[in-house]
Amino acid sequence: MNHILTIAAMVGGFFALIGPLVFMHELGHYVVGRLFGVHAEVFSIGMGRELFGWNDRRGTRWKVSALPIGGFVKFAGDMGAAGERDPAWHALSSEEQAKTIHGRPAWQRFLIVAAGPLTNFVVAIAIYAGFFAAYGVPLTPPVVGSVIQGSAADKGGLKQGDRIVSIDGRAIGTFDDIGLMMVIRPHADLHIALLRGGRELTVDLVSDTITQTDDAGNKVESGQLGIGPAGVAYSRGNMGDIARASLLAVRDRVRMITDIFGQILHGQRSARELGGPLRIAQFSGERVTLGFVPFIDLMALISINLGFLNLLPIPLLDGGHLFFYLAEMVRRRPLPRRTQEWAFRSGVALLLGFMVFVTANDLGSLGLWRKLSGLVG
């Protein structure tokens, strides 16, 4: 019975998490497209076979499809994922062509495509703004209030009263910034700049490693200095303070994502930590059981990830289209068709390979490979 409830929580959590984020992403494309007069033929949440849908008075088909792995807006004149121009486009009148995506200038197409991932960032900003409005803006100063004996901080010489200014050259504004940096830096060589009694000092140390093991036996490592704050401070603030804190929260999490990719590329972190839909479903189910706030916090982080990944210059993703449109604006003509076709095929191969890889990681996180190896053994 508990197993069934766990699966139900994972499935329900996944749909509750991904559905709104995909909808908002595609709504960004749709709204900006409409602002430029482009007709949307289809607005789909999910891929594959249509489950149900309806037509609005503008002739747009709104539908929910069987595979909950994404969504799309099909604008008039756009044949498919590669963004090819429909052959029938040339037979349209100039007025009708203007209502298609290929009938708009490159800069307008650029903004239509960019609106999707940018909307994901806006959603995350709105979520953090809601948190800060409800609970206050964290203002705990980055001052060491306590040092755990034998910890990395203790071995490195940090003392009570030290004010941490930067870690590895990255400015530290609040005590929360320290935790956000350390969570992805286990056993890392760190260069810490601090103020002690009005004097500027530097400390070099190696962070401690905390290892947590989930129910499937997967080990996740995070870093720790071994310090506590001198006190906790929050401010209700005004709308300006809340907006600024929300923007910084999104910026810091984008930095965290880029840091993780950098660590993977440099061999400092295992690529097995990359996850896909199944891992998201697992996390969603866990957060659903923890309550509304942890679940919404995960939604903000996933929304940032969706926005960031979609901006990567990979054909088939929004970032690939943006690259082509940017090249078109610079060259004052589109890239050669063969170049676009080659890039599109390469992008498909790359994304398919990535999906196979992260799905294998997801199945491992659910314990499948461990169970199979036990059966074979």
26 part of the active site: yes
Spatial separation of the C-alpha atoms in residues 221 and 40, rounded to whole Å: 46
Q: Find out whether 219 and 212 touch, Cβ atoms under 8 Å.
A: yes
Q: How many Cα atoms sit within 13 Å of 84 on the Cβ side?
A: 13
**DSSP E strand stretches across 26-169:** 40-55, 61-75, 137-138, 144-147, 163-167
Which pair of tokens denotes residue 267? 């061999």
The single residue listed with the structure tokens 């088909």 is 61
Tell me which DSSP letter residue 41 carries: E
The C-alpha angle with vertex 108 and arms to 83 and 98, in degrees rounded to 5, equals: 75
Q: How far is residue 185's CA from residue 178's CA, in Å, rounded to a whole number?
A: 11
Q: What is the DSSP letter of 333?
A: S
List beta partners, residue 166: 171, 193
The kind and range of the H/E element at 370 are helix 368-376
List the beta bridge partners of residue 54.
62
Q: What is the residue type of 187?
A: H
* Closest C-alpha among 310, 349, 347 to residue 70: 310
**3-class secondary-structure state, position 256:** helix
- Catalytic residue, chosen from 26, 50, 96, 341, is 26
**Kind of pairing between the strands at 208-213 and 219-224:** antiparallel
Which residues form the catalytic set?
A: 26
